[in-house]
Amino acid sequence: MSAARIEMRIEVAIAWHDRQCVVELDLPAEATVADALQRVATNAEFAGVDLRTAPVGIYGRVVDRGQRLREGDRVEIYRSLAIDPMSARRRRARRDVSRRAAD
């Protein structure tokens, strides 16, 4: 008799400025973050994302690709910011000041 293969369900998520993609996966109990990334690599939603080098985390905490997963984990793929948040705030502030001056 062979041992039953125990699986767990996890999610892999990535967000863009206008949408997000969350994929549910069933993986073996001993699976790692790298295993989850390998499984979503062929998914069209992840095309153009370098899954080998992109920072990744579990529920907002950056982790190594060798991190073992647990039932219910959400693996998050982080992208580079298009613009530094502080620079974006400065631009908005300048724009707001310009609008008030024109009124």
Strand order, beta sheet including 56-58: 20-28, 7-15, 74-77, 56-58, 61-62
Burial 11-36 (b: 16+ CB within 10 A, else e): ebebeeeeeebebebebeeebbbbbb
Q: Percentage of the chain with pLDDT > 90?
A: 58
95, 78 in Cβ contact below 8 A? no
pLDDT of residue 1: 42
Global pTM exceeds 0.85:
no
pLDDT of residue 101: 67
pLDDT of residue 82: 65
- More reliable by pLDDT, 39 or 87: 39
20-28 vs 56-58, strand pairing mode: unpaired
* Per-residue pLDDT tens over the stretch 29-76: 999 999 999 999 999 988 888 999 999 999 999 999 999 999 999 999
